[in-house]
Chains A and B, each alone.
Chain A
Amino acid sequence: MAKIAIIGAGFAGHTAALYLGDKLGADHDITVINRSSRFGYVPSWVWVGVGHMDPEKTMFELEPVYDKFGIKLVVGSAEEIHPDPEDQYVMVNPKDGHTQVRVDYDYLIIATGARLNFEGTPGLGPETGNTWSICTRGHAVQASHHYLEAVDRLKAGEKQTFVVGTGHPGATCQGAAFEYVSNIHKDLVKKGLRDKAEIIYLSNEPQPGDFGVRGVQIFRHGKVFTAAQFIGGILKEFGIVDQTGRGVKEVQPGKAFWEDMDGNEGETAFDFAMLVPQFLGTKFKYIGKNGEDLSDKLMNAGGFVLVDAIYGLEYEVLEQTPEAWPAVYQNRYYRNIFAGGIAFAPPGPISRPHVTPTGFKISPAPPRTGMISGVTGRVIALNVADLVIRGRMTHHERMTEMVAACIASMGDSLWDGSAASIVMYPVVPDMRRYPNEGGRDMITTHMEMGLSGAWMKRMLHTTFIHKLQGRIGWQFIPE
């Protein structure tokens, strides 16, 4: 009987748990370790953040789902990982405060998601009270309260400035920030308050539509059409001020200080701000059998788990090396340890990093959220099941082979809402397979805007929650 431990029950970890439960069932011992007893459907926190969705509609209890598959749940924080072959286990501090729990494993999947590095930018984040976040359910609820307070001030006749974007030059998740700023715009239009509000999109992307993936290109009306034109046009249409190409260095009450791509310093004043922090990995203690520190074999400086990627390549070389991206998300030293979703260390950025004349680095990190998280969770789970059943792995999927669909809500109404629907294939450009400027399949890659996207976004909420609760047909719904 094999023992499999999964740390994290977000998109990657929970997807892995479902597939492992399905393939291996109660014949093997599967344990999920998670800080919360509930799953949170992150994509809908954009709507929670503007007060348009009850946060409870984005959550469900994990235990009833895991019971169906014979999976154990330990609610707590994993603190130490002991990976040496003779004695492999994870030490967990349980949430209920009792003594530490030891979870033994033959295979370990690390899917801890993002450590929100608000401290990486002085003055950033809900703890400071300067800026808000939609990165956790609790943060999204807080953001909605402060957003609605700003709306009340608008109703009282005061002008208000809303700033949304990224709060660190190395942040990711610009898609979520774009969604949030678009939903604020739409909400204020519907409330008849838009003319009193200034809305600013402040981001580390070199231009709108970059989203940390170097933007996308498609053919439209016989010509190349870029995400920069598409998203830039939407921002202009919505009257949202474009402040892309800026890395935020510090936040003080009511002001964000940044440096732009030319090395100019500036500041943006606000009454309400939602700025996404830098995402880092969870730094565990990796301890050898003699008490030695094994961190350098398992994680990089950011806390992300080292996997089967080629690290250390200069950007220009990485751009031409699709095989640098991991295929099986397996640690090279401890081959029974895998990492999926945001937890794995990518070989480098997708968007070209920029260093300003003052030496300040502005470099959007590559996104590994949403669909990518789910796919990596599935690939890892199927490979672990393979190893248990037949002793070898048969699945692989690099981000240079993976498709991602991003539906950026721009108003949640099913009657007159909208969304920008973007399909990119592959996620990471592969200049060898697709020797065009974008490095992607320009037929499959697609962008459009309309009410159909709003329906799509709402459908994704319902079908994903159905899938992730392991309900009938869950295996047939793509990640």
Chain B
Amino acid sequence: MTEELYTITEKERKRMNNKLLQLWRFIILNLRILRAVDHSKRA
């Protein structure tokens, strides 16, 4: 594989465990999945 691999920097590590930010990401992920499910059901 010649592509650059995903690197977990210190900033990324903090972001991945920041409770408030992750709560926001949790909400967005749920909305994203629900929107995609709705889209695919209408397809």
Q: How many A residues touch the partner, as a band?
A: 20 to 34
Contact B40 A451 (CB under 8 A): no
Distance between Cα atoms of A232 and B3 in the complex (Å) = 10
* A318 proximal to B (CB < 8 A): no
Dominant secondary structure of chain A at its interface with chain B = mixed
* A269 proximal to B (CB < 8 A): no
Distance between Cα atoms of A376 and B13 in the complex (Å) = 38
**Count of B interface residues, CB-CB < 8 Å:** 27
Contact A403 B40 (CB under 8 A): yes
Contact of B37 among A403, A416, A421 (CB under 8 A): A403
Contact A444 B32 (CB under 8 A): yes
Which residues of chain B are near A453, meaning CB under 8 Å? 29
Contact A236 B5 (CB under 8 A): yes
Contact B3 A450 (CB under 8 A): no
Which B residue's beta carbon lies closest to that of A478? B37
Which residues of chain B are near A321, meaning CB under 8 Å? none
Contact A229 B6 (CB under 8 A): yes
Shortest C-beta distance, B29 to chain A (Å), equals: 6
Contact B39 A448 (CB under 8 A): no
Contact B39 A444 (CB under 8 A): yes
Known: A232-B1, A452-B22, A452-B29. 9 other contacts (CB 8 A): A232-B5, A233-B5, A234-B6, A234-B8, A237-B8, A446-B32, A449-B8, A450-B22, A478-B37
| Chain B residues close to A by CB (< 8 Å) | 1, 3-8, 15-17, 19, 22-23, 25-26, 29-30, 32-37, 39-41, 43
| Chain A residues close to B by CB (< 8 Å) | 207, 225-226, 228-230, 232-234, 236-237, 397, 401-403, 405, 416, 418, 421, 423, 425-426, 444, 446, 448-453, 455-456, 478
